Structure formats: structure tokens, C-alpha cells
Structure 1
Amino acid sequence: MTAYWIARQQILGHVLATSSAGDPFKELWNRLWKTKVPGKVHVCVWRACQNLLPTRDRLLTKGYEGKPVCLLCAHPLEAISHVFTKCLIVVELFSAAPFHLTTSLMLSMPFKEWMIEVALQLRPHVFEKLLMLIWSLWKNWNEALWENKSKPAAVLQCGAMAWLEDFHKARAPLNNMRNHVKQCWRPAEGNFVKLNVDGAYLPSMSHGDIGGIIRGPHGCFVAAFAHSIPHMCSAKQVELMAIREGLDLAVQMKLQHVIIESDCLAAIQDIAHNGESEFACIIDDILEAKNLLQTGLHLCLVSAIE
């Protein structure tokens, strides 16, 4: 027995122990139904855990006479555990940020056991992203079946995270909006320059627009940029691209003491916690550009500016 399986047994032994007092998967159900995701995501993941989704291994028991191979990677047998833990697109998604699930967590085991293991391992806000991706993977599987098309991993991830972000915004308390106070723009103090960036994105469009302006200590114009970026999937992604573009401009101009102002809290939080962002590649570029600046960089959140 490998060290991994010994450790796994120690961690999960008390959870999976069969007991006449209740369901050994009670902890999984508690975490699943308490996660703040759309209801259809809860139901989809619950059905997957109960092996109720019509994957081809189940259809074989109901008279299906077609090939049992995976629609997406041609694996010999398409089962729930394969669709959500072993398919090539799944490994690509779940081994990257913010999940960082190693291949040891994708070994042969019932999907429900795999789910309780990751539920115990991941923090709640990361677990909800996992649930969103499971739903997106199942939707992608259906599109491959009925429309003969499927999306790459990056598009699936961006689309799922954009939907989750919109879902959270729709559920945000209204008093947050009432307390939203506009600010007047102020120039940077001392020998700092200020870079204000912004992005625009509509879910109905496949691109985003970004812009930024750099002004000196007394508000004098230094430089600006504005253009469209194709293949965008969320407002947060566009805001991060605006920050990256502004930093690239600052590096090219060899500016020092830069203050960046953005009105996107989610983007700033993702930069502060890089390892947990679905846009880790963009944030890596931002941090690399930051390191190229000869002096410090300050990233600030501002509300709407007049």
C-alpha cells in the first residue's frame, strides 16, 4: 500500500465508516447543498455522485448498442468517474489553479468517494468553483453528443467562473449598492504617477474593451491606451487584462513609483491570492511586470469616479 493510500485511509476513515446511525456521506451532502452555486449545479453534482447521469456505461445496461468510448477522449469506457476525474480535459482543469489536484486524487475510486475527498480538502470558495466546472463539463459533454462540438478547457473554465461571478452579484445584498459612494479623482502625491484602468464586457459579446490613462504628480497627462481584446469570458478577466496592459506600458516607459487604481475588487483580490485564481496565467504576467519595475507598485481599489 502506498503512502498516499495510508494517509487517505487515516483522513477519510472516520468519514466513510459504515454506521447504522446515518449516511457515511453526510458530510459531502452538507457541503454540497450549502455551497453558494445555482440550484441546477447542486442537482447535477448530486446526480453524478449517485451515478444517475446517462453516461455510456449506464446506457449499456439499458439496451444501448453503440460504442461505449468517451465522447471527448475516446477512452474505452465512458463512466461517471472517467467523465469527471480522468478525462484529459478534466485533468487539465483540476490540476491547475485554483484546485491543484494531483493525479493521486484522480486514481480509480468511485466518484462519490472522490467528491468527499476533495470536499474535505478544498476551501469552500474553491469547492464551489469545482462544482461549477463539473456542471460545465457535463454541459460540454451534452454539446459534444447532440451538436458535435465541444469547448477547450480554458473556455470552459472562463465561462463557468463568469457565471459564478454573475450569480454572486445577483445575490449580493442591496444595501451594498446603497452604500456605494462616488469619489473624486485625485492626482498622485510626491513623485508617484497614477495609472487608472478599466474594462468593459458584455456576456453577449465575445470580446472585451480595455483602457487606461497615466497621469503625473499634478494630474498632467503622461500616456494612455485603449483597444479591444478577443475571446474574453468575464468582466473580471477583462479588468485583469486592463491591469496587465497598463503595467506593460509602465514598464516600457520605465516609470517608477506607480499607483494603479481599479474599480474591480475581485481582480485585486485575485492578484493578492494568485494561487487561488482561475486566471492565474494573467496574474503571473502582472506579477512579472511588477517585478520589472525598478521601484514599488501600489494597487488600489476605487469606487465610481467623477
Structure 2
Amino acid sequence: MSLPKKIKIFIWRAAKNLLPIAANLWKRKILAQPLCQLCGNALKNIFHALVECRSARRIWKVTEAAVELRSIATQDILSVIQDLERRISKADTEMVAAMFWVAWSARNQVLFKGKREDPRILAAKVEAVVEEFKRVKAQTRKDFDEQKEKIPRGWSPPPLDWCKINVDAAINVKNQCAGLGVVIRDARENFVAVAIKVTKFHGEVTHAEVEAVSWGLSIAKHVELPNIIMESDFQETIDLVNSKKSSRTEIQWEITEVQSKMKEFNAVKVQHISRSCNAIAHSLAKTALESGETAIWKGSYPYKIMYLFNSVNE
């Protein structure tokens, strides 16, 4: 049922006969007699507390569900709801379930605070709670769907006359080395160049990621590309290269070198992407660590690299 969790939990407790009605308290020797504290009649089950009690009937009289409830033979709450689902719509069944919750709350108000609320106000409260929950749920779903649309579904090709360079770094702390991966593709999604490299790990992931960007620019210059889009899934590197943040450590010297390399191209964009859109570069970086080699391929690629292209999804 499309209801707030607190109402669904309440219905579950009612269906499992876990509510502290007089009959249950009497069985546990908490009350001397299993009598309804509001009407004085024998309180045999939860159905009496939620539907048959004089206090509950005052609420049900102002609702259309009263007729349906009177025609139900069973007094087991779960069976009541299942029977209602066969007779009325799902939305109306949800309203009845919510009314059970309100009837119980109203009962407690009378028992513990001596406060009786207008049944019409209680009925209106039910509608308000259910409708507001569904409105918020619908808005949440809408916001979630809109957010999903904003998330890139996968790697996207660059515009015509541009090439896209994806770079990444993988670290092996034990051996104090880093693997760098570079893959360059054009607007038709053709592979222009692929490169792997093993380098020394200087203790900071940012340092390795910046080195991957720098090496990606070197490969792009090697294959003579005029317009490039550089992509990395490491946000800090992108912010440093785009001068959105600075560092007082020695890494700033490398950032300055990267920015100097960028000036050698006709047009350059550096942007952040999700890890899922950078899967091939990440796999290449791990391949560099595993093989321990440095290599650049252009036009033709070894079997292990071709296999990687086909097995990795972006």
C-alpha cells in the first residue's frame, strides 16, 4: 500500500495482534478484566477497538467505508484488508487502513488525555495524510527521474573535428608505483591512440592523476590533435587544472606544466566525468600496473588491448 511507513507498521502490528488492547493486556495479567475501557463491552480482538467500539463507530459514521466494513464477516484485520481489496479500489483500501490508524490514535487520545476530537476532523486528517504522502512520493519520484536523466549514461563522443582523451591512474602502494592509462577517440568513436605507462608513486593519488593528465596531453601532441577534450574521474585534478582551486604543495609545479602544455593546442577543454564513463582508461591504468610496461599504440592494437575494448562497458 502506498502509505507512510508509520501507518504500514501499525497495520502490520494490528494484523499480528500486537496492539496493547485490553484482551492482550488481560492475557499478560496486566489488566484484571478483558473489557473495553471506553465502552465497557468485552474486548475480544483488535477489530472491536478499531471498528466496533462506540468511540470508533463515531469516526466510521462520517466515512463511506462504514457500509463495506459492516458487510465483512471476518474480524481479523489482515483478512479485513484482503476482503476490502476485492470489493473496493486500492486507493479506498488505503484510506480504510489509514482510518484504522487514526481510530487507534483517537482511542489513545481519549484513554490517556481525555480528549475527544471531532470525527469529521479526523476523517479529513486521514485524507490529508494519505494525499500529502502520495504527493511527496510523486514529487520525490519526479526529482529522482530528473536527476537520473542528468547522470551520463556512458561515455559520449566529442563533437566533429574534436578528439576526446580519457585518462586515469591506478596505484600499487606496496610496490610504490602508479599505472597510467590514456585512450583517445574521435567523433565517430574510433580509437585514435592508446597508451599505458608505469611511473613512481609519490604518496598522493592527486599527484598520479595529474601525471595521467600531463601524459595524456603528451600523447595528444604526439598524434598531432588540434582540438581536444580531456576527461578524468578525479574531481580535484580537474579543479586544479581549471584553476578552480590551488595548492601550495609541489604539485602546483606540475599543474603549471600541464597548463603550459594545454596552450600548445588550438582548443582544449578539461572536464570531470563519472568512473563509469571512464572505464577503459581505468582498465588501461590497471593493465599498466599488471604488465609493468610503457607503450603507445596507434592504428593497430595487441590482442589484450582489443579484448579490453570489447569487455569493458562505458
Using the size of structure 2 for normalisation, the TM-score is 0.40
Using the size of structure 1 for normalisation, the TM-score is 0.41
